[in-house]
Structures are given as structure tokens and as C-alpha cells.
Amino acid sequence: MTFAILILAVFWLAYSNGANDNFKGVATLYGSGTVTYRTALTWTTLATLAGSVLSILLAGSLAKSFTGKGLVPVELTQSSALLISVAGAGAITIFLATILGMPTSTTHALTGALAGVALVVGHGHANLGRLWDSFFLPLLVSPFLALGFAATLYPLFRMTRRRLGVTRQTCVCIGDAAPQPVQLTQNGAAIIAAPVCGAPNFTVASREQCIERYDGRVLGVSALNLVNNTHALSGIAVCFARAVNDTPKIAALLLAAGAAGVSWKLGLVAAAMAIGGLLNSRKVAETMSKRITDLNPGQGLTGNLVTAALVLGASRLGVPVSTTHVSCGAIFGIGMVSRTARWKTIAQILATWMTTLPMGAAVGAAIYWTLTRIGG
């Protein structure tokens, strides 16, 4: 019975993780108009499944980070009460943020839950100092690293593009017709000079229908195709890297329970993450893609390259960074450089990050206290 409850808690945690996190790797693809929401969702689901399958081989050391070993006494690391508390608190915290459309960190929620359990166990028996070195420091540093790299790399990429003679072109999509080049007026209207569908001139008052493209060639290859294809690959890489980094954290809760068989546990987590992303990722997708800053394909590509590099690097080192913090940090950096950052949305996301860990701690402590009182 206890193990069945743990399975349900872990499934809900993985589902919530998928709903909140799966789309983050392809958010810039959708936000820049490179692909549709449905296409982006398909790509992220497949990449997440692939990353989940290979996660233990590439990032096995992460599985040890969230068993509580070193944070609470060794005899508690396989405690059903601890495992259920961590999984349940993480699931509740992440699912609430998903309902609100706010991207947040599964790593933060799990870390908070562990801290809450450690506080209930008692300060004299819990190594709370390990939280700083193993969890807090990577979580605090990673978004600033991503912001700095993105803010530095994007101007360099932009300068390189200009030196190669690749110009930026604003287009608008009209019905099923191919994107047409337009000129933006000072009042935000988009004017098409060439006839479209037999009409002499056409004015579109909304900027939301306009997309930015690249006009020119690099080494004989269309600059637009080069950027879009690389952007798509980078988005898939981010989704793959996120699954590599997150799957072991969640699977660790089942692995610590000691039941035989690793494959079915990873399969359960992978399936739940995929289902959560397919059914409940739209609100977070809109926030990440549209509400933080305006993005063009080049900016989206820069953000994804920074995110993929940092998350994959952390996975190889066994450092539990948050894909959310890294991805959002990269987008924040691009928004600052391009001066299109929407600070209200950024403030809301930062507030969510600040409350995720204490909420996870409070819920984790409450669940653990209840379970230990019920079970003696």
C-alpha cells in the first residue's frame, strides 16, 4: 500500500514536471514564429522521451542528489515517509505554478521538500549546510550565467550576421499565402508595397501577425534556412538536456525505495512527463514564448544554445541546475539587450521562483509530519 502511494506521488510529480518544463526548450521556436505550437509540442515530446531513456547512462550521479543522502540521516534516505513527502510536495508545488502559467523549477521544489523534511527531523540530525553547496549555489548562479552568456553572445552573433551581409526582414503572413515583406511605420502598422492576392496595397494594424526573417546567404546556403534549422536542432537539444537532467531526480525517489527493476521506473517517469507536457503545457508555453520578450529566430537560437550548453554541462558534472532558471535567464538577457523585456512578467516569474522553495519546504514538512504521526 505504501509503495503504491509512492508510485502515485512520483507519477504526479513527473506529470507536473512535464506540464511545466517540457515546452521550455522549444518556447523560443514558438515565440519567434519559427514553428506552430502543435509542431513545437510534438518535437519537445519526442526529445523528452529520448532524453529520459538515456538519462541514467549520461547523468547517473544526479539520481543520488535527491535521495536525501547527506542531508538527513542515512537511515531515513529509504524511508517511505521521506520519499512520499518529497514527491508529494514537489508535485503540489509544481502543479500549482503550472495552473498559474508560471515557469518554475522542479529542482527548487524538490530541494525545498528535502529541506522541510530535514527541519522536521531536527536540526541536530540534519545537515542543512549541504543545501548551500550542493543545491542553493548552483540554482542561484545558473540564471546569472545564462543571462550573462546570452547578453554577450547575441550582440556578437548580430555583428557577425551584419558582416556576412545578412539583413533582417520583417514579414507578415496573410491567410495561406507565403510571408510577404513589409515596412513598419512609426505607429506600428505594417505596409506591404507589393500587390497581394490582387490588392494594390495592404495595411495590417497589428504587429502580432508580423514575423522577422533573414534575407541573404552564408556559404551559398539560405541564411533563413540555416538559422531556422539550427534553431530547431538547438530546441530539441534543450528538451533532450532537460530530460537528461530531470528524469534521474524524479526516478531517484523510486530507486531509493529499493524495489527491483530500474527500466520500469524510468519508463513510468518518462511516460508521465510526456503526458503532462501534452495535456497541460499551454499556459506556461504562452508565458515563456510570448510574455517575457519579443523574439526573432536569431535571438531564439542564441537563447537555446546557451541553455543547452549549460544544462548538458551541468548534467555531465552531476550538478542539479534548473532548466527553468537557465532558459529564463537566457531569455531575460536577450530581452535586456534588445530592450524589449517585459519587466512585469519577469517580476512575476522571479516571485514564483522565490516562493517555490519555501512552499515546497512547508508542504514537504507537513506531509512528513503527518505521515510519521500516523505511522508512528
pLDDT digits (tens, 9 = 90+) for 125-146: 556 566 666 566 666 788 888 9
Continuous H helices in the chain: 2-21, 27-31, 37-59, 80-99, 106-121, 129-131, 137-163, 223-255, 263-280, 282-286, 297-317, 323-338, 343-375
pLDDT digits (tens, 9 = 90+) for 59-87: 445 555 555 555 555 566 667 888 899 99
pLDDT above 80: residue 10: yes
Coil, helix or strand at residue 262: coil
Residue in 28, 89, 5 with CA at minimum distance from that of residue 374: 5
The mean pLDDT value for 249-271 works out to: 74
| Contacts of residue 220, Cβ cutoff 8 Å, sequence gap at least 6 | none
pLDDT digits (tens, 9 = 90+) for 194-244: 555 444 444 444 444 455 666 667 666 777 788 888 889 988 988 887 887
pLDDT digits (tens, 9 = 90+) for 148-161: 999 998 889 888 87
The pTM assigned to this predicted structure is 0.79
Q: Which residues pair with 172 in a beta bridge?
A: 180, 210
Q: Which residues pair with 184 in a beta bridge?
A: 190
> Which residue type is seen at 290?
K
Q: How far apart are CA 130 and CA 165, in angstroms?
A: 52
The torsion region of residue 72 among left (phi > 0), alpha (psi -120 to 50) and beta comes to beta
The mean pLDDT value for 43-67 works out to: 71
